[in-house]
Structure 1
């Protein structure tokens, strides 16, 4: 076992017990400059590693990267070995995490959330994919939604969540017409 402080030992031990060996949340009372100092020393010794946080699984953030993503901290094989956990177990956990990261990196197109068939969301997408597109009023009539719900669906679920390219064009006699080519 390495020369660990009580705080470092607590962080590593708690992380070893968590799913994915997440080092966050840090112990109570450890925040701000003190947390940065402790984590910085642990990272320099190779005990902690900063990885992309999976926000869908609710992984806690260590640092925001500024592009809408963030990082979290995980314990490395060296960190687990520092508290006496066998390298075989530590290696298996590290390989599983790296396999997930590499699997995501090798896919050419990032995976988008899928829309289920037969839902109102699928119905809205079908309306938008017609050559003539659809207005908010037409979508509201087809789905029995209020206009603000339709606009929220277009901007939130379709554009942001699903990443569909939606265009809007003002058409004489119809008003604002929305289209999607995906």
Structure 2
């Protein structure tokens, strides 16, 4: 899999996570020329293929064919194997007519990352201040606030509460922790 970029690997991983192995929709923020370049390379390697989109199932179009129909992208057996699925998992994913949509929840950060450390700090009973998080991660204060607002709240769907404590200042905690 070394010949694939991180973006191309992400496209295949998302397809592998779906019951029907569809590669559409592409990862958030990937569109235009960058999307075309990434997908074209994966198709050249035989990891993705174009198939008729089933509009009645709400499949996202990769491109229109001009006759009122369109094509979507599906991971091939080789593509699913490239992200290290077992043969049984591959057969399950390639059964495109499975009518049950895949339930996907928010993504979970990898262990040992700064994001995981941030979540751990905010999950602790005492919570954490911006200054404490900045010291632990090496981020500037505005980056910490951006991570809390953008990543934790918006992308991961976590509820982060802020309370003012006289001795520490504003303390942030993940609700329910």
Q: What TM-score comes out, normalization by structure 2 length?
A: 0.51
**Any idea what the Cα deviations from partners look like across 1:41-96, whole Å, max 9, x if unmatched?**
000101101000000010000000111100100111100111111133213432x3
Partner of 2:165: none
Asked if the contact 2:18/2:93 (under 8 Å) is kept, the reply is no
1:68 aligns with 2:68: yes
The gaps in structure 2 that reach 5 residues or longer are: 98-177
1:6 aligns with 2:16: no
- Structure of greater Rg: 1
**Contact kept in structure 2, 1:2 and 1:82, CA below 8 Å:** no
Unpaired runs of at least 5, structure 1: 99-182
- Distance 1:52-1:5 versus aligned 2 partners, 3 A rule: same
User: 2:23 corresponds to which residue?
Assistant: 23
1:126-137 superposed matches below 5 A: none
Q: Which structure carries more helix by proportion?
A: 1
Pairwise mapping of residues 137-148 of structure 1 onto structure 2 (< 5 A)?
A: none
* Greater relative contact order (Cα < 8 A, sep 6+): 2
CA shift digits 1:95-151 (9 cap, x unpaired):
x338xxxxxxxxxxxxxxxxxxxxxxxxxxxxxxxxxxxxxxxxxxxxxxxxxxxxx
Size of the aligned set, in residue pairs, is: 99
* In 2, Cα distance between equivalents of 1:49 and 1:87: 19
Alignment of 1:39-58 (within 5 A): 39-58=39-58
| CA distance in structure 2 between the aligned counterparts of 1:91 and 1:81, rounded to whole angstroms | 11
TM-score in terms of structure 1 length? 0.50
Moved over 6 A (4+): none
SS at match of 1:97: coil
RMSD, aligned CA: 2.2
Alignment of 1:42-121 (within 5 A): 42-94=42-94, 96-97=95-96
